[in-house]
Structure 1
Amino acid sequence: MERIIQITSGRGPEECSWVAAQVLKKVLEEAKEKGMEARVLQRESGQENGTVNTATVLVEGSGSAEFADSWIGTIQWIGQSQFRKMHKRKNWFIGIFEVRQSAKAQISYTDIKYQAMRSSGAGGQHVNKVSSAVRAVHVPTGIAAVAMESRSQHQNKKTATERLIQKLEAATLEQLKEEVNQQWENQLQIERGNPKRVFSGTDFKKQKTDKSYKATRQQLKNNLQNYIE
């Protein structure tokens, strides 16, 4: 079983990108501790050293669904800005979203068209006379890749196909990043008050969250008692 999640700072400031980088570390560490494999598929660094704007992580292994669910949502960090020491803001938010399997690049080899080409560059008469280079084109998107390193057309076809698939996956992730950023913008205001996890301090310690609402109920009872008296 596998799940894919994306960690994003949205369009937040560099402080949020710093938080995203710390969360990425926590996700990878926790997955390892739980006996799962977590692999970073895509990472976009922020402007400051050690920051991350977005990161897409593939989690594989037993319990990956529960693991992903335990992270998906808004993540809050409470602490002083790492970049603006005089900044008064103490609460910073980022988002983690699930990447649905249907959003992954669906590549059908029947959609790939191959064109034989003459290799260019050094190589003597062989280059001029034999069309060993191969251009692979993904017809639905128009994305193409070329391979001409080998004298074997079969090998060049294989290499061109591999390069094309890499390009398609990169294009899919880029499109997904834009969609998730927009989703994050739409949900940020709603979910700020209900973070999935809360961390604090420069050591990024996890804070316990009370999901029982016991403290809230007690406060309401106290308010009612004061009102009666």
Structure 2
Amino acid sequence: MILPSPSALARTPRLLASTRACSSASRPRPTKRATSSAPYVARSTASSSSSLFTSSSSCLACQSPSSSLRQIRSFHRTAKVNETTAKVNETQFSQIAKIAEARAKERVDLMASVSEEDSQSDSVSKSKRLRVLEPLAEAWKEYQDLEEAIADSLPLLKDPDPSMREMASSEIKSLRSSLNVLLSTTLPTLLLPPSTESELSCIVELKSGSGGDEAALFASELMAMYIRYASLQGWKVSIMEESRMGNASEGLRDAQLEIKGAGAYGKLRWESGVHRVQRVPATEKAGRTHTSTMAVMVMPISENVDVDDLSYIDEKDVKMEFYRSSGAGGQHVNKTESAVRLTHLPTKLSVGCQQGRSQHANRSLAWTMLRAKIYAQRLAQKLEKDRIERKSQIPGMERGDKIRTWNFPQDRVTDHRKPISMSNLPSIISGDTLDDLLYEIGEYHLGLRLEAMLGGDEYDG
């Protein structure tokens, strides 16, 4: 190898400095994602909307040692939900750059507009928005620095010194690789931060649908799956309401689970919809495969509710009733009016709770359930107002309205939204590898958000 002359080195101090700074930026390091040892086979037939990104769960630009990306790494540490990463192709680089530049300018204008005369609500709103835009502004500054470094290095390709031309060519290649990572992965991900509800706890409501006893048995199995999955995630689970078919050992008619833990709603929100099961029931003597359905609705729990929140309820709009509990529990629950029913008069939504032994405990649970239902209804109205053509979380209870099929004879779980199929159904329904399926669906919805953003719309799927 021909070494560059001292005079050539003196002409390129910035080139050498940028070589050291960027050399590791283009070296991707593998990241680990918790999975079960049980194997599964994923056969994806994704539509064009999900082809905008890959299944990589790491942000390559975040692996750069550059200090200007520290806040981006901090952003990804806090955005733990699903750990999905958006990625675009080269034909969309210019669109991403324009959107990122506009958001960086928005941050500058927003900082200039901050004043001591701002009201408390305005000050809080601006502060929240600035926190979202800050890591994006850092990434945009990195993008500008890389472009400037490439522009400074291009003239060196015509340098009379062969060693300098070789060094410049290698450096430009490394800089462009880092630039591509920023445009294809880092900037798109920062342009689509997780929703504010992603880190909240949630309520999971289950209802058996078409199929009679078999549907109820499957609903019971899915409830056990969610309880098991929540325990693996370190979340706390409590059964708020439960109604079974006959005695406690038989199928589940409907139930409501309260799952408390950071990121519970962000992960389980993709479970909302109708689940279809295909299998041979234990009572089937002819060996025929039956098809049944059950529905799941996942709603976030907001602990601190502000007036502007979707889950806010004015107590004056709620009718509260007390009645005696039914079922097991002894004379205390059967002879005292400990059960609580809340009715939101403007929407006619009603919830009842009789799980606790005290009226105070049931009232608290009922308010949590009512706020979750109000939130789900208002969110659907908001999305419709924004002209987002989406169906409600549970469009119907018929077999054709499914989001997922659990096919026991073929040992296959198929999600019809992406669509994607995975084998080893027992491992998934036990909760051990459910996280892998939720990860794939999370990436699919991130792709929809990215596609909508590039098209000039908003999508909060």
Bin of the TM-score, shorter chain as denominator length: 0.5 to 0.7
Report the TM-score when normalising by structure 1. 0.53
What CA RMSD, in Å, does the superposition of the two structures yield over aligned residues? 4.2
Change in 2 beyond 3 A, CA 1:42/1:10: same
**2:264 aligned to which of 61, 64, 74:** 64
Change in 2 beyond 3 A, CA 1:91/1:11: closer
Q: Which residue of 2 aligns with 1:143?
A: 321
Number of aligned residue pairs: give it: 159
**2:293 aligned to which of 73, 79, 93:** 93
Amino acid at match of 1:16: A
CA distance in 2, matches of 1:140, 1:75: 33
Q: CA offset at residue 17 of structure 1? A: 0.2
Pairing 1:209–2:419 present: no
CA distance in 2, matches of 1:15, 1:200: 13
Larger Rg computed on CA atoms: 2
CA distance in 2, matches of 1:83, 1:103: 46
Q: Which residue of 1 aligns with 2:340?
A: 167
Pairing 1:23–2:222 present: yes
Q: Which residue of 1 aligns with 2:104?
A: none
**1:51 aligned to which of 246, 251, 256:** 251
Structure 2: 5+ residue stretches without partners: 1-199, 302-308, 325-335, 344-349, 354-368, 374-392, 422-461
> 1 or 2, which has the higher strand percentage?
1
Q: Which residue of 2 aligns with 1:198?
A: 406
Change in 2 beyond 3 A, CA 1:103/1:52: farther
State whether residues 276 and 292 of structure 2, in contact with CA within 8 Å, keep that contact through their aligned partners in structure 1: yes
State whether residues 76 and 198 of structure 1, in contact with CA within 8 Å, keep that contact through their aligned partners in structure 2: yes
Q: What's the % identity of the aligned pairs? A: 12
CA distance in 1, matches of 2:352, 2:312: 8
State whether residues 265 and 298 of structure 2, in contact with CA within 8 Å, keep that contact through their aligned partners in structure 1: no
CA distance in 1, matches of 2:205, 2:216: 13
Q: CA offset at residue 140 of structure 1? A: 6.2
Amino acid at match of 2:256: T
Q: CA offset at residue 84 of structure 1? A: 3.5
Q: Which residue of 2 aligns with 1:2?
A: 201
**2:274 aligned to which of 49, 74, 79:** 74
Structure 1: 5+ residue stretches without partners: 112-138, 147-161, 178-182, 215-229
Structure 1 stretch 88-97 or stretch 19-28: which is displaced more?
88-97
Q: CA offset at residue 94 of structure 1? A: 1.1
Instruction: Give SS of 1:5's match.
Output: strand
CA distance in 2, matches of 1:5, 1:140: 23
CA distance in 1, matches of 2:218, 2:413: 18
Change in 2 beyond 3 A, CA 1:80/1:11: closer
State whether residues 10 and 185 of structure 1, in contact with CA within 8 Å, keep that contact through their aligned partners in structure 2: no
CA distance in 1, matches of 2:261, 2:292: 31
Change in 2 beyond 3 A, CA 1:84/1:106: farther
CA deviations 1:208-229 (Å, max 9, x no partner) are 4374579xxxxxxxxxxxxxxx
State whether residues 14 and 47 of structure 1, in contact with CA within 8 Å, keep that contact through their aligned partners in structure 2: no
> 1 or 2, which has the higher helix percentage?
2
